Amino acid sequence: MKKTLKSKLSWSTILTVFIFGLIGIISIFFQTKSTFISLAKQNLSSESSLLIQGFDNILERGRDLSETIANEPVFVDYMVGDKQIADELTTFRLNFYNIGEIYSATYLVSSSGIVLASTDPSFVGQDYSSRDYFQKSIKGESATDISVGATSKEVEYYFSHPIKSPHGDIIGVAVAKMKPEIINKFIIASNEDRETIMLTDNYGIVIYSNDSQVVYKSLGNLDQETSQIITKNNRFSNIKIEPLDYNIPVLKLLNKENSGIFEIKDKKNNKDKIVSVSKIGKLPFFLLTERDSDQFIYPAIKISFFLSLIIGLSTLCTIFLILFLVNKFLMPLEFLKIGAQEISKGNFNYKLNLSTDDDLVGLGNTFNDMSLKLKNLYSNINKERKKSQRLVRDLNKFKLAVDNASDLIVITDPNDVVLYANPATAKITGYSIGEILGQKPSDLWYRLVDKKIINLISDVVGKKKKIYSGQIELNRRDGAKYVSSVFLAPILYKNKKLEFCVRIEKDITKSKEIDKAKTEFVSLASHQLRTPLTITSWYTEMLLDEKNQIGFNKTQEEYLKKIYSSNHRMIELVNALLNVSRLELGTFVIDPEIVFPNAILESVIDEFKPQIKKKQIKFKKEIYSSLPKKMMLDEKLFRIIVQNLLSNAIKYTPEKGTISIKVKKDKKNLLIIIKDSGYGIPIVQQSQIFTKLFRADNVKQTDVDGTGLGLYIVKSILDHTDGKIWFESEENKGSTFFVTLPIKGMKRQKGLKRLN
């Protein structure tokens, strides 16, 4: 059987109850037994002392009688030999003492041991000189003796007393022979079933007993001396004395104490017995009262039996109770086990329903809560796993991208030692990847760079932990110079400690050359295109100035004006194109100064007033007083922004429309809102309006002139000055443009060209 917790618990409890029960039963058994035995001993000794008193009384009467006879003057005289007293009278007199038929005979014995007178005539003339009682009494003692009748085979009791002459000489012995029935009756009367009562003589031979089998047997083995004495006395009339298996030293007891209680083992019958031994008065008799121990063990067994029964029953009850409790408490555990197995199989939906009303409900709830949490955890882990798989895929893609990038990408440790370099690094610098790894860029393609620049970079990235970006002239392995746009970013551990450095470099030598060529072209174009335009412009201007002196007609004057305005448009276009090329090169100057934005706005608005008036446009201006009075702005750039937006608004708003300009500020930005009720921008083209040379379809049709560069330039400027631009527009309803510029102003930018 599998040793489950349940069986372990049950068996251990049952075994404990059983063992303690057994120990209890055994100890109670022995306790009870010894209590009963000691009670029995007391009982026995008190009983036997009662018996002994009775015996003593009876036997004492015998002694008294013999003494009374011995002192009777008539008998003394008779014994002295006074022949005047007839034998008949003496015999009569002796009969007189035999009251109540207690005595079978009373008689007088001469000093030579011959019976002189007796109530039993057959005794007369008999020689009793060898008898114990005679021998003792002739010496002057009062004696008691027994002997077994030769014919009757019954024990007889003799009481004798010396008869003394008036002079004090012992002249004979008076004897009373008691009928054995008197004593035997007494024994039988006091007999109880369970007892064996034995009367023994001073040699330990049973004289009488309620158990006839033991009569005339000795308690122990007789020694030779005693046997001889008994044979000589002929006490037992040739009856063979057989020993009983009592090992009681009656004789020894006789010499010391009057009584004793013994527990003995009857080997023959295999019985334990309690034996009380008492001396009867001063007489040479002992009374043995004997009981079987079984009698006392029996109640002990009975009590123990009932006790065992009770303990057995309670053990049984305990077992049932324990099984019940174990089931009650362990069943939920069983459910828990099943639940745990289910969960270990991955079935997180397993619900435990413990229908108990105790603390285990809490356990069940905790279990269910746990399984729910496990389920969530498991699904989270699953999600995480998928995530990390995705991450690995992404990382692989990322690595592929980095490996194949045309820009140099290098990862260094905080000491600037290269940990990774992509293939482009080898291509650009001329060193092999093997030569680069584990080395410092400052020993390779940065080897000729000014120490000041190296220190600056390590200061920015290493100490300030900021991104460095700049253009540096570097040297390839073969010494060839090249210009690189360098971007160096610190990767911080927990936003504190520098862990890695990512370096991205782009070889811009070629693009630099292209830039230079572009710049030269711009200068050339600027000069070569603008010169003829200037000449045309100035001559036309002069002609128009002098029209009155010259005397043009209306048509001629009209033509001249058209030449002038077209030429002017051409100049604007060239200027715009120049600005665009400068913006694209990123080489335009941003030169912020403290200016008054309000004043600039007003002046730009003033520039457009004639056009506004001409188109009869309702113009509204809302400039909030909370505006900063002074700002760090490049006035030229700020003007270009406002000019372009306002000029667009006017261009693309039909006559009698409305235009409003609103200038506000929030915490960080200046906000300019220019709203018109113009043609608006078609939704499909709204995403393109900041691209170069874009012109919306709807305005191309309405003859409005435009370069398609204005918004592109505005957006480019704002991109370089931390500003923003966006708009809302609906076709035929109008457009609203929003522009923000940081309140703290524009940042200075060095460049080659100013925008015009």
Partner 1 sequence: MEKEKKRILIIEDENALLEVLTDKFEEEGFSVLQARNGKEGLEIAINDKPDLILLDIIMPVMDGMTMLRELKKKQKGNRIPVIILTNLGAAEDVEQAIKEGAYDFLIKAEYKISDVVKKVEQILNKIA
Could you tell me how far CA 374 lies from the centroid of its own chain?
17
Both tokens assigned to 11: 């068996």
CB 194 within 8 A of CB 299: no
Q: Which stretch binds partner 1 (CB under 8 A): 67-75, 242-250, 525-533, 726-734?
A: 525-533
Q: In the bound complex, what is the minimum distance in angstroms from residue 550's beta carbon to partner 1? A: 13
Dist CA 224 CA 16 (whole Å): 61
Dist CA 144 CA 155 (whole Å): 13
Q: In the bound complex, what is the minimum distance in angstroms from residue 483's beta carbon to partner 1? A: 20
Q: Residue 419 belongs to what H/E stretch?
A: strand 418-421
Q: In the bound complex, what is the minimum distance in angstroms from residue 573's beta carbon to partner 1? A: 11
Q: Kindly report each contact of residues 236-239 with a partner whose C-beta sits within 8 Å and lies 24 or more positions away, as own/partner.
A: 236/147, 236/148, 236/205, 237/147, 237/148, 237/149, 237/150, 237/153, 238/150, 239/148, 239/153
Both tokens assigned to 642: 């406002």
Q: Is 599 exposed, middle or buried (0-12, 13-18, 19+ CB in 10 A)?
A: exposed
Q: In the bound complex, what is the minimum distance in angstroms from residue 747's beta carbon to partner 1? A: 17
Helix 635-651 to helix 597-614 angle, to the nearest 10 degrees? 20
- Residue owning tokens 């069940």: 364
Dist CA 445 CA 474 (whole Å): 6
Q: In the bound complex, what is the minimum distance in angstroms from residue 579's beta carbon to partner 1? A: 10
- Which of 42, 365, 534, 732: binder of partner 1 (CB under 8 A)? 534
- Residue 624 binds partner 1, judged by CB under 8 A: no
Of 514 and 535, the one with the shorter C-beta distance to partner 1 is: 535
Q: Residue 734 belongs to what H/E stretch?
A: strand 734-742
Q: In the bound complex, what is the minimum distance in angstroms from residue 648's beta carbon to partner 1? A: 21
Which of positions 266-285 make contact with partner 1 (CB under 8 A)? none
Closest CA to 200 of 35, 11, 48, 71: 48
Of 363 and 529, the one with the shorter C-beta distance to partner 1 is: 529
Q: Residue 473 belongs to what H/E stretch?
A: strand 468-475
What is the four-CA torsion angle of 70, 75, 80, 84, rounded to 10 degrees? 180
- Which of 538, 559, 624, 726: binder of partner 1 (CB under 8 A)? 538
Of 589 and 600, the one with the shorter C-beta distance to partner 1 is: 589
Q: In the bound complex, what is the minimum distance in angstroms from residue 427's beta carbon to partner 1? A: 35
Of 575 and 669, the one with the shorter C-beta distance to partner 1 is: 575
Closest CA to 569 of 705, 692, 694, 754: 705
- Residue owning tokens 């012995």: 173
Q: Kindly report each contact of residues 187-194 with a partner whose C-beta sits within 8 Å and lies 24 or more positions away, as own/partner.
A: 187/51, 190/47, 190/50, 190/51, 190/54, 194/291, 194/292, 194/295
Of 623 and 752, the one with the shorter C-beta distance to partner 1 is: 752
What is the four-CA torsion angle of 54, 59, 63, 64, rounded to 10 degrees? 30
Q: In the bound complex, what is the minimum distance in angstroms from residue 566's beta carbon to partner 1? A: 14
**Per-residue x/- mask for partner 1, residues 464 to 503, rule CB under 8 A?**
----------------------------------------
Both tokens assigned to 423: 């293939």
Number of residues binding to partner 1, judged by CB under 8 A: 25
Q: In the bound complex, what is the minimum distance in angstroms from residue 516's beta carbon to partner 1? A: 13
Dist CA 277 CA 52 (whole Å): 10
- Residue owning tokens 């035995």: 37
Of 494 and 527, the one with the shorter C-beta distance to partner 1 is: 527
Of 18 and 539, the one with the shorter C-beta distance to partner 1 is: 539
Amino acid code (one letter) for 261: I
- Residue 521 binds partner 1, judged by CB under 8 A: no
Dist CA 483 CA 470 (whole Å): 10
Of 509 and 526, the one with the shorter C-beta distance to partner 1 is: 526
CB 177 within 8 A of CB 103: yes
What are the distances in angstroms from CA 561 to CA 229, 540, 651? Answer: 193, 8, 20
- Residue 754 binds partner 1, judged by CB under 8 A: yes
- Which of 237, 526, 669, 686: binder of partner 1 (CB under 8 A)? 526
What are the distances in angstroms from CA 444 to CA 101, 119, 415, 481? Answer: 158, 165, 15, 13
Which residues lie across from 619 on neighbouring strands?
Answer: 659
- Residue 752 binds partner 1, judged by CB under 8 A: yes
Which of positions 116-135 make contact with partner 1 (CB under 8 A)? none
- Which of 533, 563, 605, 704: binder of partner 1 (CB under 8 A)? 533
Q: In the bound complex, what is the minimum distance in angstroms from residue 544's beta carbon to partner 1? A: 10
Of 440 and 754, the one with the shorter C-beta distance to partner 1 is: 754
CA angle 478, 481, 483 (to 5 degrees): 135
Cα distance from N-terminal residue to C-terminal residue, the chain? 103
Q: In the bound complex, what is the minimum distance in angstroms from residue 564's beta carbon to partner 1? A: 10
- Which of 527, 548, 610, 626: binder of partner 1 (CB under 8 A)? 527
Of 372 and 550, the one with the shorter C-beta distance to partner 1 is: 550
- Which of 228, 523, 556, 566: binder of partner 1 (CB under 8 A)? 523
Q: Which stretch binds partner 1 (CB under 8 A): 59-67, 249-257, 471-479, 746-754?
A: 746-754
Of 111 and 756, the one with the shorter C-beta distance to partner 1 is: 756
- Residue 643 binds partner 1, judged by CB under 8 A: no
Q: In the bound complex, what is the minimum distance in angstroms from residue 531's beta carbon to partner 1? A: 6
DSSP assignments along 364-398, one per residue? HHHHHHHHHHHHHHHHHHHHHHHHHHHHHHHHHHH
Q: In the bound complex, what is the minimum distance in angstroms from residue 561's beta carbon to partner 1? A: 14
Which of positions 539-598 make contact with partner 1 (CB under 8 A)? 539, 541-542, 545, 571, 574-575, 578, 589
Of 149 and 532, the one with the shorter C-beta distance to partner 1 is: 532
Of 671 and 752, the one with the shorter C-beta distance to partner 1 is: 752
Of 384 and 546, the one with the shorter C-beta distance to partner 1 is: 546
- Which of 86, 229, 535, 684: binder of partner 1 (CB under 8 A)? 535
- Residue owning tokens 């693309």: 652
Of 491 and 524, the one with the shorter C-beta distance to partner 1 is: 524
Of 402 and 529, the one with the shorter C-beta distance to partner 1 is: 529
Q: In the bound complex, what is the minimum distance in angstroms from residue 756's beta carbon to partner 1? A: 6
Sheet containing 143-148: order of strands:
115-118, 103-110, 170-178, 155-164, 143-148
Q: In the bound complex, what is the minimum distance in angstroms from residue 535's beta carbon to partner 1? A: 5
Q: In the bound complex, what is the minimum distance in angstroms from residue 680's beta carbon to partner 1? A: 33
Of 152 and 531, the one with the shorter C-beta distance to partner 1 is: 531
Of 20 and 538, the one with the shorter C-beta distance to partner 1 is: 538
Q: In the bound complex, what is the minimum distance in angstroms from residue 528's beta carbon to partner 1? A: 8
- Which of 476, 512, 530, 665: binder of partner 1 (CB under 8 A)? 530
Give, as one character, the DSSP assignment of residue 445. Answer: T
- Which of 382, 531, 565, 702: binder of partner 1 (CB under 8 A)? 531
Residues that bind partner 1 (CB under 8 A): 523, 526-527, 530-535, 537-539, 541-542, 545, 571, 574-575, 578, 589, 751-754, 756
